[in-house]
Amino acid sequence: MLQSLKQKTLVGKLWAIIVLAVAAIFIGVVFGPGIAKMIAGPTHFAPQDDHDVLSLQGQYLEADIDTLIDYYAETVRSESGKRDEVSAREYIMPINTPGATIYIGLEVPASKIDDAEAIVDDTARMLDDEDGSYEWDGSYMTVRGTLKRMDDETKQLWENYFIDAGFSYDDIGLEDGCTFLPLVLTDDEIDGSDTFVLGFMGIVMLLVLALLIWFVVRSLTGGFQKQIRNYIKASDDPQATEQALDRFYEDTMQDGKVRMSRSWLMYDKGGNSWVLAGDDVVWAYQHTVRHKAYGILTVRKEVMVRVFGAKEKRACHDIYVRNEDEAQEILRQMQSTYPDAMIGYNAEIEKRYRANPVTFHQEVAAARRQPAAAPAAEPTEPALGRLGCGGS
């Protein structure tokens, strides 16, 4: 029985496993390389040291920048009715190589533009110094990002800047001998993705993988049948109980999601499956939850049969049904199958059950064997917000 339930649960959870697997693959393909680079951390480089700049393309780099020449492009955010705002600016940054100093672009977000402008001003003072009186004012900033080729639009602005400054096209490009390389180090970006987005997607991927593993492991190990396993384990003879449940499962026809005999009651619905011994079916009633829009209009009703036992600490279990007719039919079957169970609801029944489930069951059974005794208060359907169910 447990093996059969485990297989049914695995099939029932297959859609969720597939969705999670597809989500994990998608995140891995789109964001995986960037996430891996961020986890590995940036490679530190110092612009004043000699570098083979072309070999740094595609790497996640960290640098302390204290020299910038000027800016050649900026990104402006325009919104209707609002003043245009600069969201990013791209500066000319010198880098030493074994043969000469070359220049690349550095893109920084709006939050670092003031720092970048301070560096530009300090660099200008250094370049204009004629009497040796220049002293560094401490302006610098740390950037972390990926070095990549400029897109066509940015490259055009890059070329225009240097052509206007009097340089030739031979000075601009990625060929040997070019002074101005169309490469840009973009701060807070890895492989075209914002580092915040990558961090967020990394967390999402971990959660998706954890949930995927949880679904697979619980499905394969029978974790979704925990209540049934614990119920068997808590019995006086677990082996005999499991054998009896196996026979019940094989011999009893399933009516919807419910299997019912004088000895056992089982709700067979994948991860929500549960079982009670026939003499442990203490109380059952129809429970209706009305979901309302704006607290007024009922938009959906959720109907279930709520079943209470006495042997478990969390003794409440639900049978979800399509409508009230199905709920009443299950309750009628339970009334005839479990004559010692209380069927229906009122506040007095709830009070007696909560006081002591075992004593309550014994009193109901004793009263049923004494037909001449005064009848109990007529059970009704509970009002919303009454006795909650903590079972599986």
pLDDT higher than 50, residue 87: yes
Distance CA 310, CA 214 (A): 31
What's the pLDDT tens digit per position in 189-204?
998 888 889 999 999 9
pLDDT higher than 70, residue 377: no
Please state which of the ranges 53-57, 60-64, 216-220, 275-279 shows the lowest mean pLDDT. Answer: 216-220
Percent of the chain with pLDDT over 70: 86
Percent of the chain with pLDDT over 90: 50
Distance CA 305, CA 330 (A): 8
| Bridge partners for 316 per DSSP | 308
Please state which of the ranges 162-166, 217-221, 324-328 shows the lowest mean pLDDT. Answer: 217-221
- Is 303 in contact with 288 (CB distance < 8 Å)? yes
CA-based Rg of the chain, rounded to a whole angstrom? Answer: 36
In 150-282, the DSSP E strands lie at 180-187, 189-190, 193-194, 258-260, 264-267, 274-277
- Is 143 in contact with 106 (CB distance < 8 Å)? yes
| Coil, helix or strand at residue 355 | helix
pLDDT higher than 90, residue 106: yes
**1 — pLDDT class (breaks 50, 70, 90):** low
What's the pLDDT tens digit per position in 276-333?
999 999 999 999 887 766 666 666 788 999 999 988 876 789 998 989 999 999 999 9
pLDDT higher than 60, residue 378: no
Average pLDDT over residues 132-152: 92
DSSP assignment, residue 255? B
Distance CA 46, CA 276 (A): 71
- Is 109 in contact with 87 (CB distance < 8 Å)? yes
Cα–Cα distances (Å) from 217 to 3, 7, 311, in that order, read 14, 12, 28
Among 69, 158, 185, smallest CA distance to 120 is for 69
**385 — pLDDT class (breaks 50, 70, 90):** very low
What's the pLDDT tens digit per position in 30-44?
999 999 999 989 999
Kindly give, in sequence order, each residue whose CB lies less than 8 Å from that of residue 87, ignoring residues fewer than 6 positions away.
Answer: 75, 76, 77, 109, 110
Tell how far CA 328 is from the center of its chain: 39
Please state which of the ranges 143-147, 225-229, 352-356 shows the lowest mean pLDDT. Answer: 225-229
pLDDT higher than 80, residue 384: no
Give the pLDDT of residue 123: 94
Residue 82: Cβ within 10 Å count: 8
**80 — pLDDT class (breaks 50, 70, 90):** low
Average pLDDT, rounded, for the chain? 85
pLDDT higher than 80, residue 274: yes
Kindly give, in sequence order, each residue whose CB lies less than 8 Å from that of residue 190, ignoring residues fewer than 6 positions away.
Answer: 34, 37, 38, 60, 145, 146, 198
Residues written for the chain: 392
* Residue at token pair 């036992």: 309
Give the pLDDT of residue 217: 78
**391 — pLDDT class (breaks 50, 70, 90):** very low
DSSP assignment, residue 141? E
Q: Which residue has the higher pLDDT, 95 or 236?
A: 95
Give the pLDDT of residue 72: 95
Give the pLDDT of residue 392: 40
